[in-house]
Structure 1
Amino acid sequence: MASGTIDARTLTGASTPLQNVTAAGTYGVRTYSAPVTIDGLHNPSNYKAAPVLPTWQFATSDPTGGKLTFEREVAPANGWHTWSRKGKVTVTGGSAATASRVYTVFNGQQLVSALADAGLDPKIVRIVGHIDLRWSSNNTVFKEYTSYLDQKYGGSIMIPSNTTLVGINDAQGRTARITGTSILIGGELANGAADAETGYKAWIAAGKDSEDYPTWTRNIIIRNLQIDAPWDVNPEDSANAYADGMTLSRAQNIYIDHISMGDGDTPDSLAGDTRHDGLLDIVRGTDYTTVTNSYFFKHHKTTLIGNGDSGRAWSDEGRLHVTLSNNFYDRLESRLPLNRFGQVHMFNNYIYGLTDSSVSADLKFGSGVDPRYQSNMLLENMFFEITELAESSFCKKGIDGGNGTKPLGFRSSGHLMLSNKKVNNVPNTTPVAWDGQCGYAVPTGANVWTPPYSYTLLTAANAKTSVQANAGAGKLK
């Protein structure tokens, strides 16, 4: 750990270790309940099991023999995860885990048990093979989720503070994979009040430090995992699914590196309605988070930063500091990201989209970076390659997506833009320099900020090459 920095573990405080027991269910434990309408949503008639199941890649042995390598690494100091209101931090995750707090798991029940066993202690959880909470009894019994509540609780894993969660390649060299399962980091809890907002506002009104509010989940490292967005068996309605691939809520000092996320074997084209929600959502007061070296592909709603406008100011204003760097956004529809309130730094990402009408709806590009209410963004040296899109349309597709809500500030520079729109029936193959400012106003006064961490900035052309070679699970070096 760098001299003069705070170990993020020491900021954990009196948070709820797993935040996993509720009146309706326990995270990671199946209820097998029948579908019911809840608050006018999740009509039982809309229940539909996943129409396609993957070829599971279960494992029963660890090809490394339990030898630790990258699992004990702390997060590098190159993103917003390295900061806090108490000063510069080092995200240590579970790097300090004792031998009894190092777990190698091969199925969902073992994963849930390891997290519950360790609680808030530093822990390293190593996944080998394929995790799916629809399987039980050592991956010998499969049962689809039976309802919204069964999936919400029984199909979700809650990651507690001070955790390093990593994938270990199996004996065939295949990346560890999570399917049919939502990963939750943190929860917006009421802390003894009637609701989360009331509890948090009462804490602040009493003159207490927001950083000491007792329900933060902190200090987590997630690396080298393939995560398939869950198929929602009983969504809210025909246009709104519930289950995300990964959701960060009231989480701080989170480092996510070399993951791959997409729809897996159940693309939206298999349904006449919406069966997937977000891939990776960063919401509800979450702060100081970095997502890097990752591969996002073939999905509709990719990343939401801040999930509401003025009604969420109490939790989100001044928070949602997020770094997105060196990521590959491949054939996605939207939200790269959609940002409300967030102070977001994006650099050296590669965005590749298809807009031609011949591709399926699951692959067609709709919009990219979408700055919205009270957002404040800095974009540097990114490569935008969007097929069959005229250069004149890039500012309504690559950035903005057509939304008129103005952010607090927006700075964008150093990009390359490539549209292969045919001219005289010849596709364009030459990228051009593009600032991507798209008419947005740069921040002024107190809204001007500079990243408080060091980072390596590649040219946009070199970023594309580097990202294609290095982003995603299985490419961790």
Structure 2
Amino acid sequence: MVVTVSDAESLMEAMAGTEPRVVQISGTIQLSGMNDVGSNKTILGLGADAKIVGGGLYLYREKNVIIRNITFEDANEDAIGITTETTNVWIDHCTFMNGADGLIDIVRESSYVTLSWNVFRNHHKTILIGHSDAAASDAGFLKVTLHHNWFDATQTRHPSVRFGQVHVLNNYYLNNLSYGVASRMEADVVVEGNYFLNTWFPCRAGYADSEPGDIVERGNLIETNMPPPPSEDPNDPPPPATPVCETRGAAFDPAAAYAYTADPAEDVPALVMRHAGAGRI
């Protein structure tokens, strides 16, 4: 079943329940707070100007959800919250900016989430995977892939991971003031084939009060063309003369979970700037 909506009431009605439905968003929809998305839904923006403004989408114990081709602006909480045993979620070709809290949270035993070809800009706490150091029940869950996303001058959490098993592949990091990827509290993170430009802490093992997780890097390209700006985050040490991707432990092998071919890191900026974000599918 396919439904086209252009106002908040129609959107919330169409997203409810568990029956399969394609919900097409036309134009700008003004929301507030977090709004429930049921299982078996595809939320698809029409054309190049579909927007959700002021509020976010909330997935609680849901499965089989696709969110594509939507710009999320000015959410007064999170733009997308994925929580409590939610599985099989694909967020693709969206643009995110100016949220009050996180742009995307993936927490509380959720798993099998892919974030692909998205643009994140003008934000501080970008993507959180694993909500606290005490959430040991998350071990074995939070399996997430991020590929071909553009983190455009966002500050932190690209992503920040606790307990999860996360593959960070072929993303473009540009002018990220605080850090790129953080592996915390028993996380396993593979950082592969990414391009970091003016990101002075591309990868961190541990962050703030969290114990370090495992983090493996391979095939990344790290470059600078400006002096490091001062960070506003008290958890950041003074930037190094030459940024490097911090590593620890062995993490995991993504190829054991799925087949993929990594793009060369030097090709990533052009690919991502050309194809990522809403309006480009």
Q: What is the TM-score normalised by the length of structure 2?
A: 0.88
* Aligned mate of 1:165, from 43, 46, 50: 43
**In structure 2, C-alpha distance between the alignment counterparts of 1:107 and 1:282, rounded to whole Å:** 27
Is the aligned partner of 1:332 residue 2:232? Answer: no
**1:122 Cα deviation (Å)?**
0.7
Is the aligned partner of 1:438 residue 2:246? Answer: yes
Is the aligned partner of 1:298 residue 2:132? Answer: no
**In structure 1, C-alpha distance between the alignment counterparts of 2:101 and 2:121, rounded to whole Å:** 14
Q: 1:435 to 1:421 in 2, by over 3 A?
A: closer
Going by fraction, where is strand more abundant, 1 or 2? 2
Give the SS at the match of 2:93.
strand
The count of residues paired between Structure 1 and Structure 2 equals 264
Is the aligned partner of 1:226 residue 2:58? Answer: no
Give the SS at the match of 2:54.
coil
**1:462 Cα deviation (Å)?**
0.7
Q: 1:436 to 1:412 in 2, by over 3 A?
A: farther
Task: Look up the match of 1:47.
Answer: none
Is the aligned partner of 1:313 residue 2:191? Answer: no
Q: 1:122 to 1:367 in 2, by over 3 A?
A: same
**1:406 Cα deviation (Å)?**
1.8
* Aligned mate of 1:385, from 148, 172, 197: 197
**In structure 2, C-alpha distance between the alignment counterparts of 1:248 and 1:107, rounded to whole Å:** 23
Q: 1:158 to 1:341 in 2, by over 3 A?
A: same
Structure 1 counterpart of 2:78, which letter?
D
**In structure 2, C-alpha distance between the alignment counterparts of 1:339 and 1:451, rounded to whole Å:** 20
**In structure 1, C-alpha distance between the alignment counterparts of 2:253 and 2:147, rounded to whole Å:** 20
Q: 1:451 to 1:300 in 2, by over 3 A?
A: farther
Mapping 1:74-473, distance limit 5 Å: 101-116=1-16, 119-133=17-31, 155-169=33-47, 174-186=48-60, 216-231=61-76, 243-250=77-84, 251-263=86-98, 276-309=100-133, 311-314=134-137, 316-353=138-175, 365-386=177-198, 394=200, 397-400=201-204, 403=207, 405-407=211-213, 409-421=214-226, 436-443=244-251, 450-473=255-278
> Is contact 2:193-2:220 (8 Å) kept?
yes
Query: What percent of counterpart residues are identical?
Result: 33
Structure 2 unaligned regions, length at least 5: 228-241
Structure 2 counterpart of 1:106, which letter?
S
Structure 2 counterpart of 1:367, which letter?
Y
**In structure 1, C-alpha distance between the alignment counterparts of 2:256 and 2:148, rounded to whole Å:** 16
**1:451 Cα deviation (Å)?**
4.2
> Is contact 1:379-1:412 (8 Å) kept?
yes
**In structure 2, C-alpha distance between the alignment counterparts of 1:296 and 1:420, rounded to whole Å:** 21
Q: 1:248 to 1:402 in 2, by over 3 A?
A: closer
**1:353 Cα deviation (Å)?**
1.1
**1:398 Cα deviation (Å)?**
1.8
> Is contact 1:367-1:401 (8 Å) kept?
no
**1:438 Cα deviation (Å)?**
1.7
Structure 2 counterpart of 1:157, which letter?
N
Task: Look up the match of 1:94.
Answer: none
**In structure 2, C-alpha distance between the alignment counterparts of 1:158 and 1:259, rounded to whole Å:** 18
Structure 1 counterpart of 2:102, which letter?
G
- 1:257-304 Cα shifts (integer Å, max 9, x gaps): 00000018xxxxxxxxxxx11001111111001000000001010000
Structure 1 unaligned regions, length at least 5: 1-100, 134-150, 187-215, 232-242, 265-275, 355-364, 423-433
Structure 1 counterpart of 2:172, which letter?
Y
Give the SS at the match of 1:181.
strand
The alignment's C-alpha RMSD in Å is 2.0
Give the SS at the match of 2:175.
strand
Give the SS at the match of 1:179.
strand
**In structure 2, C-alpha distance between the alignment counterparts of 1:448 and 1:347, rounded to whole Å:** 13
Larger Rg computed on CA atoms:
1
Give the SS at the match of 1:220.
strand
Going by fraction, where is helix more abundant, 1 or 2? 1
Give the SS at the match of 1:400.
strand
Q: 1:249 to 1:439 in 2, by over 3 A?
A: closer
Give the SS at the match of 1:467.
helix
**In structure 1, C-alpha distance between the alignment counterparts of 2:254 and 2:221, rounded to whole Å:** 24
Q: 1:437 to 1:131 in 2, by over 3 A?
A: same
**1:411 Cα deviation (Å)?**
1.1
